[in-house]
Amino acid sequence: MSPEHSGAADREQAVTDEVLASFDQTADPRLREVMRSLVRHLHAFAREVRLTEREWETAIDFLTRAGHITDDRRQEFVLLSDVLGLSMLAVAINEPKAPGATQATVFGPFFVDGAPEVALGDDIAHGAAGTPCYVSGQVRSADGFPIGGVRLDIWGADEDGFYDVQYPGDRTAGRGWLRTAPDGTYRFRTVLPTSYPIPNDGPVGDLLTAAARSPMRPAHLHFKATTPGHRTLITHIFVAGDPYLGCDAVFGVKDSLVVEADHHTAGLAPDGSQPQGAWTSMTFDLVLVPDDAS
């Protein structure tokens, strides 16, 4: 290495060392560890790609636009984390390794607090367009015992690939929550999910376009299972046969979460009703692990 290059490298390292030292007195040891590691990796990235000032200005503008487009109905930073695979990496790092437990996947940007409670077997579609879909299953613990009283939050897109929060107004459709029966069973009606593009009219969409990446997600329903004594589970069920199962824009697909949707043209539905036209059904069991599982 020439003296000139050696001097430049020394100057760059001096910047990194000075920033690292600024966290030496951080009282919280975990915050100190995380911030010092972040600085080391972030500075190493900048050196590796020889980041230009113009490129850094572009990145700042990208993050600023992500902040401006984020509101109580859209979370662009979650979307960015998802398309970079960071969300799924965090899931993989923190997911318990209990055999047989239902695998977790990304939370996504469309969960909403305050969804309506429904009784077992009721409709959570609330007018969302699509083919009726009757979903049922059982929630069990890792040791095989059924768990009653589990809160299940469920949300999904309509047949046009949109969640209720993507429409104008305060309409609630395609989401709700219920509690499992004493034997751990659950059942509800919604609409058959369809594949759809993640919101691509903002900076994350611009990134995908520039990278020649598809914005598509395979058809799925979101589940959040919560009960005392067990770890909260965030997962999906994906519809078997969807053309985008192998190229999910947010890397969330796991084989164990792919479920067949049975198609029916007539006959009684599971709730005893007789739908006018075609309908579908899906069955999926969820297995939760104790709070202390690792």
What's the CA gap between 294 and 292, in Å, rounded?
A: 6
pLDDT at 64 over 60: yes
In this prediction, residue 160 carries a pLDDT of 94
Q: What is the mean pLDDT of residues 229-246?
A: 96
Q: What is the mean pLDDT of residues 158-182?
A: 93
In this prediction, residue 105 carries a pLDDT of 96
In this prediction, residue 260 carries a pLDDT of 97
In this prediction, residue 267 carries a pLDDT of 82
The token duo for 133 is: 């879909």
In this prediction, residue 292 carries a pLDDT of 78
- The domain locations on the chain are 3-51, 77-288
82-86, 116-120, 169-173, 181-185: least confident range: 169-173
Torsion region of 85: left, alpha or beta (phi above 0 gives left; psi -120 to 50 gives alpha) = left
Torsion region of 236: left, alpha or beta (phi above 0 gives left; psi -120 to 50 gives alpha) = beta
pLDDT at 143 over 60: yes
What's the CA gap between 7 and 10, in Å, rounded?
A: 5
pLDDT tens digits, residue range 10-54? 999 999 999 999 999 999 999 999 999 999 999 999 999 999 999
In this prediction, residue 5 carries a pLDDT of 64
DSSP string, 8-72: HHHHHHHHHHHHHHTTTT-SSHHHHHHHHHHHHHHHHHHHHHT--HHHHHHHHHHHHHHHHH-BT
Share of the chain above pLDDT 70, in %: 97
Share of the chain above pLDDT 90, in %: 82
101-115, 140-154, 236-250, 264-278: least confident range: 264-278
Confidence of residue 268 (pLDDT cuts 50, 70, 90): confident
Whether domain 77-288 has CATH 2.60.130.10: the reply is: yes
Distances in whole angstroms, Cα of residue 198 to Cα of each of 203, 213, 215, 217, 219? 12, 12, 6, 7, 12
Element at 136 (helix H, strand E): strand 132-141
